A = this chain, B = another copy of it.
């Protein structure tokens, strides 16, 4: 059996061996939800960069630049971090350079030796699970958190991804055990539960309630997001794999 683990914060990633694993980076509010939305809406590629200045430099190369710090759009950037900016193929065919508070850092920290890096969101949960089930690799879910702290939304995504996975993967990791159990306990009131999260409250203060609701939509898109040569691109997944219902794997 392949293994699945959950790292609850980029500040704990040094405790995990990412070598030869598929690392799924998740920053639900909102970096990876926005990236998946952009890719599903025809954006050609997304270059995640660590800081605002590096990101700005991409503008001269014809990139659209998107930046956010502390939940607010970065000054002088064309786009902030809202998934709704990309719907209706608004940036189809364009290349985007993006920097966010937590998400891009988590991607950077996932690189050394890993087999692949995916980005995950509720928006493409099942297709990501299907892809992982088809690949012969151990998986590490890397929650971006909030400035190094544990956060609820990324951790619950980890629980949802474990639940959505067929019997291909098992775990001996308390982070995986806890988050699968927490997801099971709250999957029927997930939106209400996640609205209590500290970052959701922060976003509510910024009047972007619509973003929160969008980020909590399940399986809206059928592509995975994958890092190839330092750019995130969309990839389709073959549908050969049988999709098991979560209820069939809860005895694990």
- On whether the beta carbons of A172 and B185 are closer than 8 Å, the reply is no
Bound form: Cα–Cα A148–B13 in Å:
10
Q: Is the CB of B151 within 8 A of A174?
A: yes
Q: Is the interface of A mostly helix, strand, loop or mixed?
A: helix
Assess whether B197 is in contact with A175, with CB atoms less than 8 Å apart: no
Q: Which of B172, B197, B201 is within 8 Å of A198, CB to CB?
A: B172
Verify A150–B12 contact, CB threshold 8 A.
yes
Min CB–CB distance A11 → chain B (angstroms): 6
- Give residues 129-156 of A contacting B (CB, 8 Å): 146-152, 155
Q: Given A11-B12, A12-B148, A149-B12 in contact, is the A186-B181 Cβ separation under 8 Å?
A: yes
Contact present for B174 and A197 (CB under 8 Å)? yes
Whether B152 pairs with A178 at a CB distance below 8 angstroms is yes
Minimum CB–CB distance for A132 against chain B, Å: 22
Residue A182 CB within 8 A of the other chain: yes
Contacts of A193 in B (CB 8 A): 181
Q: Does A196 contact B (CB under 8 A)?
A: yes
Distance between A26 CB and nearest chain B CB, rounded to angstroms: 14
Contacting A177 at CB < 8 Å: which of B15, B178, B181, B197?
A: B197
- A9 lies within 8 A of chain B by Cβ: yes
Interface status of A8 (Cβ within 8 A of chain B): yes
CB distance from A105 to the nearest CB of B (A): 14
A84 on the B face (CB < 8 A) = no
Partner of A178, one of B11, B155, B173: B155
Q: Using a CB-CB cutoff of 8 Å, which residues 195-211 of chain A contact chain B?
A: 196-199, 201
In whole angstroms, how far apart are the Cα atoms of A68 and B208 in the complex? Answer: 51
Do the beta carbons of A11 and B11 come within 8 Å of each other? yes
A199 and B182 CA atoms in complex are apart in Å by 19
For window 166-196 of A, CB contacts with B under 8 Å fall at 172-175, 177-178, 181-182, 184-186, 193, 196
Q: Are A149 and B177 in contact (CB under 8 A)?
A: no
Residue of B nearest to A153 (CB): B174
> How near does chain B come to A206, taking the closest CB pair, in angstroms?
16
Which residues on B sit within 8 Å (CB–CB) of A201?
Answer: 172
Top 10 A-B pairs, shortest CB-CB distance = A185-B185, A152-B174, A151-B174, A150-B175, A15-B148, A182-B182, A174-B198, A8-B150, A15-B149, A152-B178
Interface residues of A (CB under 8 A from B): 8-9, 11-12, 15, 146-152, 155, 172-175, 177-178, 181-182, 184-186, 193, 196-199, 201
